[in-house]
Structure 1
Amino acid sequence: MSLVKKFATVGGATLGSRVLGFARETLMAAALGTGPMADAFYAAFRFPNLFRRLFAEGAFNAAFVPLFAKEIEAGGIDGAKRFSEEVFGVLFTVLLMLTIAMELLMPLIVAWIIAPGFVGDAEKFDVTVKLAVVMFPYLMCMSLTAMLSGMLNSLHHYFAAAVAPVFLNVVLIGALGYGLWQGASPLETAWYLSWGVLAAGLLQMAVLYAGVRHAGMKIGFRRPRMTPNVKRLLWLALPAAVTGGITQINQIIGQMIASTKDGAIAALQYADRVYQLPLGVVGIAVGVVLLPELARALKGGQEREAGNLQNRSMEFVLFLTLPAAGALWVISDEIVRVLYERGAFSPETTSIVAGTLAIYGLGLPGFVMIKALNPGFFAREDTKTPMRITLLSVVVNCILAVSLFPLFHERGIATAEAVSGWLTALLLFVTLVRRGHWPLEKALLWRVARLLAATVIMAVALDYASGYFADRLASTAPPYEQLVALGLLIALAMLVYFSVAFLIGGADLGMIRRNLKRKGKAAPSEESAE
């Protein structure tokens, strides 16, 4: 299967999840707006999500996948199964102890970490604590799900792991729909959502476990023991957890600061949801596929193949994210108005969220590049270097967020995160090149310069066209007219960008053919991959 086809498999499944995520956020905006219950729910949900990114997705994509791939090469499926059971026993035990401790300490955690600004509002604080208690076990479910996802990806079964997040959005849409149908209060709706998060976590774990069994690997529970393999995993996972969760770390810092302003947490969440669409479809797809492919090439001594994988991935990333960044900067107001402005979501809120989204858009290429650059370290079992870079960028984010929030509020938080993301991407890239782990192609640099030019031309055309569609995009226009007008703007942007990119040499048919025809080293189970 070609690299692009694998990206498309994961990206397509992620796209479905993100589209449902938009539907969820649209219902959320109508039901809760940026009121106190929206702040309470998002603050409570951010905490298990932070741990999920730190100790689940980040750690396992970085540490588990290369070790699992090595076990397959050395001991076959039986060796990989034994390793998985060893890890599962330790992981389950640690997560259970962590969950119990966090549930007992939740009031202190909300007061000190999740939302210090809520302490002065007794009702808001109490609701946040209770919602967080209900949702925190989601971490345990998703951490085990992340391990199962890593196994499936290493076995070339990409689709099941990528489609699992759909269940979260389906369950939460159902909870919101039920709340709106019943005319539930914001507090009741927040409770429906919290129990929905827990139910979705259990459902995702069950689906992934079934996927692993379908892939031919049945794992059971072993008594937790610190075997050499488990020790090696933990040694790699701790710095990888910090690195993989860079976005979430910066967002939790932003949330702590934003909790001092009513509605700020919800506004940041609504903006985050929009830019997560291209970040998820492109960035997550590249990160998920590239790591096992790169690890496999390096284990086989194929340095030239590894370099080609990295360059093609960066080419793919920038080809798609540069225009997305330009569009988010130019038509952020129109996007937010069409997606969210209804019910409890006012025009004033649209202005705040749109300004935040535009800044996130500028940081988008940097955020996605991190996903393509980290595997260059992780596949070589080097998790400490990206961790050090990540910690530096977190310090920068803290300084900027504290400095800019009093002046620019939500936009200040977004600016801090965008600058931090670009700093991380540039330092990772320079380090790989200096070490000789990234054979930089001059042709790639020239192509990127041309893609930037195509993006600028597209942005100018989009700015002009948005004025032409202004009446149809206004909040007074019928919703279907708004959607059609926004769809036409996006279609026009794509037409202009791709036409100019191919015309001036930012992309060519040879590039597309290279990516489509590149064959990876097939695993024995690839023929049955979803």
Structure 2
Amino acid sequence: MLKNILSIGAWTMVSRVTGFVRDALMAALMGSGPAAEAFIVAFRLPNNFRAIFGEGAFNASFVPAYTKVHQQEGDEAARLFQGRIVSILLISQVILLGLVLIFTPQFVGLNAPGFEGERFDLAVTLTRITFPYLILITLATLYGGVLNAVGRFTAAAAAPILLNVAMIATLLAHHWFPTTAHAAAWGLTISGVLQLGFMLWAAHRARVLAKPEPIKLDTPVRAFFRALGPATIGSMGTQIAIFADTIIASLLSAGAVAALYYADRINQLPLGIIGIAAGTVILPQMSRLLAAGQVEEAHAAQRRTIFLTWLLAAPFLAGFLAVPDLIMRALFMRGAFTAADAEAASSALLAYGAGLPAVVLIRSAVASFYARGDTATPLWASLTGIAVNIVLKIVLMGPLQQAGLALATSLGAWVNLGLLTILASRRGFMHLDRRLYAMLACVALATMTAGLAMYAAATALAPLLAGLAHIGDIIGLVFVGLVGAAFYGATVYCAFGTAGMDLKSALRR
């Protein structure tokens, strides 16, 4: 399990690094101005639909269903099931694309009601360029789900790198496009073609590629759709929060949409590298173990995933809470991205950090239900989190601006995770033992120690690096990161030893 998580995490790390290069280039060329905000809205529309219907709901419903058909009925039945789902997805996505292209102004108006004039018109134009990406990436996600179900995780983890490479290339060639925002939009759509081609090749190489089949609502397909409906709504929690952030931020001061975007891009780093990687590995593993009747083994695999997720994500939490301003200045403050932009984004990053533990652990928690074919319970937990989130956004947007929107998202995630954990434990779907609690406590202690060390190091360095401008921020971030890593690692090791536990054993078991 650790090998698979680290493998996915490594490829995701490459994706996030290239994604940072993309975002840094975009920030330098467009800053937080109208063109940047118009592109962010155009980017988020297809991307959020992908996250809801593709990675979220689709994988939650498809992976357990495909695994069950493959184990019980063999390769040919699984291939036929896959082909029917391909046909259904393709038809539904073509219909959705047609509706969006016809009613693009209305879609943009719903998602950015504060946009007017030139900014609104540009967002409409860019959305028409970017939305075909949804068809391409949804099909790519399907083949990624097939590969994950048979234990091949690398291709799906590596494919997003192509998104960043394509957008970097078009941003560098922005003088060939009407605006830099047009260049970024075309880069997104081109990346969809590249990602789908790559996933088709990977599925063909793994001998799991199925051609579209005539649609037939047989037992496996009906079971898939029964799970898909609740899973779709359940997967909307985080995406509705992002939609709501964009809608409300468009009504706030200029630059709020961009501040949330750049803060969320950094916040997505541990989520993608660790949270999604862990969820990607644990769902098919629990599905296989439960299908074989090995319930306790499935619970043990989940406990280990929870521990590994928290162990690997906690250093990011320490940094987000201790030095969010230094992070945003070092990573983005260049070109059109000013010190004021960095300060606005850092307040949002701090607020997002408050919910980081919950966000990265939700994927592992929902596996308790999805692996058993129960997509309804996560739906209700997600809807409750959404309700709390939206109410808090309305309450906090005035006094805290974009930071209030991010904090509401964090608190909603905690509600979602809490409900999932309580319900799974009561039903016997999850068993969190004392050993796990003790290990999580050791990591929490190390997180606090690392955070305090990072804050002290940043405070001490600030006057020494003040005359070096932007390069001083970069040097400071590197040094503070090394200090935090040293304190974190040492504290984890000592805490495990003091508690009478062996860290190496915890990583293996």
- Shorter-chain TM band: over 0.9
Deviations 1:187-210 (A, max 9, x none): 611111111111101110110011
Equivalent in 91, 103, 116 of residue 113 of structure 2: 116
**For each residue in 1:453-512, what CA deviation from the matched residue of structure 2 results, as whole angstroms up to 9, or x when unmatched?**
2211111111111122214654x5265553333122111101101101110218988443
Partner of 2:422: 430
Alignment of 1:319-330 (within 5 A): 319-330=311-322
Gaps of at least 5 residues in structure 2 are none
Q: 1:28: which partner in 2? A: 26
Give the 3 Å change call, closer, same or farther, for CA 390–289 of structure 1 in structure 2. Answer: same
Q: Who is 1:194 aligned against?
A: 185
Q: Which amino acid aligns with 1:95?
A: Q
Does 1:492 find its partner at 2:483? yes
Q: For 2:97 and 2:240, how far apart are their aligned partners in 1?
A: 19
Which of the numbers 42, 45, 48 marks the counterpart of 1:47?
A: 45
Is 1:373 the counterpart of 2:329? The answer is no
Please give the alpha-carbon distance, in whole angstroms, between the structure 2 residues aligned to 1:87 and 1:327: 42
- Cα deviation for residue 60 of structure 1 reads 1.9
SS at match of 2:278: helix
CA–CA distance in structure 2, aligned partners of residues 218 and 285 of structure 1 = 23
CA, structure 1 residues 478+117, in 2 after alignment: closer, same or farther (shift >3 Å)?
closer
Mapped partners of 2:242, 2:46: distance in 1: 13
Q: CA deviation at 1:397?
A: 1.0
CA distance, structure 2, for counterparts of residue 23 and residue 283 of structure 1: 22
Specify the SS of the correspondent of 1:157: coil
Secondary structure of 2:114's match?
A: helix
Task: Give ranges in structure 1 of 5+ residues lacking alignment.
Answer: 519-530
| Residues 511, 72 of structure 1: alpha-carbon distance in 2 compared, 3 angstrom cutoff | farther
TM-score, normalised by the number of residues in structure 2: 0.96
Q: Are the aligned partners of 1:334 and 1:486 in contact in 2 as well (CA < 8 Å)? A: yes
Q: Which residue of 1 aligns with 2:495?
A: 504
- The answer to whether the aligner puts 1:132 opposite 2:114 as a matched pair is no
Correspondence for 1:141: 136
Q: Which residue does 1:168 correspond to in 2?
A: 163
Instruction: Report SS of the residue matched to 1:477.
Output: helix
Secondary structure, counterpart of 1:117 in structure 2? coil
Structure 2 vs 1, CA of residues 482 and 408 (structure 1 numbering), >3 Å: closer, same or farther? closer
1:58: Cα distance to partner? 0.8
Q: Deviations over 1:321-347 (max 9, x none)?
A: 223212111111111001111111111
Query: Among residues 246, 252, 260, which one is paired with 2:243 in the alignment?
Result: 252
Aligned residue in 2 for 1:526: none
Instruction: Indicate whether 1:350 and 2:342 are aligned.
Output: yes
Deviates more, 1:253-262 or 1:241-250: 241-250
Partner of 1:521: none
Distance 1:473 1:356, change over 3 A: farther
1:280 aligns with 2:272: yes
AA matched with 1:231: R
Partner of 1:334: 326
Between the aligned partners of 1:124 and 1:460, the Cα distance in structure 2 is 42
CA distance in 1, matches of 2:221, 2:64: 13
Q: Is the 8 A contact 1:29 1:345 kept in 2?
A: yes
Which residue in 1 is equivalent to 2:86? 88
C-alpha RMSD over aligned residues: 1.7
**1:108: Cα distance to partner?**
1.1
Deviations along 1:9-49, one digit per CA (max 9) or x if unpaired, are 11111010001111111111111111001110001111111
**Equivalence for 1:304:** 296
Residues 163-196 of structure 1 show CA distances to partners (whole Å, capped at 9, x for unaligned) of 00000000111111222xx4x79x6111111111
Higher relative contact order (CA 8 A, sep 6+): 1
Output the CA distance in 2 between the equivalents of 1:422 and 1:508: 30
The answer as to whether partners of 1:155 and 1:215 remain within 8 angstroms in 2 is: no
Aligned length: 507
CA distance, structure 1, for counterparts of residue 158 and residue 367 of structure 2: 22
**CA distance in 1 between partners of 2:503 and 2:470 (Å):** 40
The equivalent position to 1:410 in structure 2, one of 381, 402, 411, is 402
Distance 2:26 2:388 in 1: 32
- Corresponding residue number in structure 2 for 1:224: 215
Is residue 90–residue 225 contact of structure 1 (8 Å, CA) maintained in 2?
Answer: no
Runs of 4+ in 1 over 4 A off after TM superposition: 471-474, 478-481, 506-509
Residue among 140, 147, 152 paired with 2:147: 152
| 1:116 alignment partner, SS class | coil
Judge conservation of contact 1:271–1:353 (CA < 8 Å) in 2.
yes
Report the alpha carbon displacement of residue 246 of structure 1 after superposing the two structures with TM: 2.0
> How many Å separate the matches in 2 of 1:204 and 1:377?
30
- Contact 1:326 1:362 (C-alpha < 8 Å) held by counterparts: no
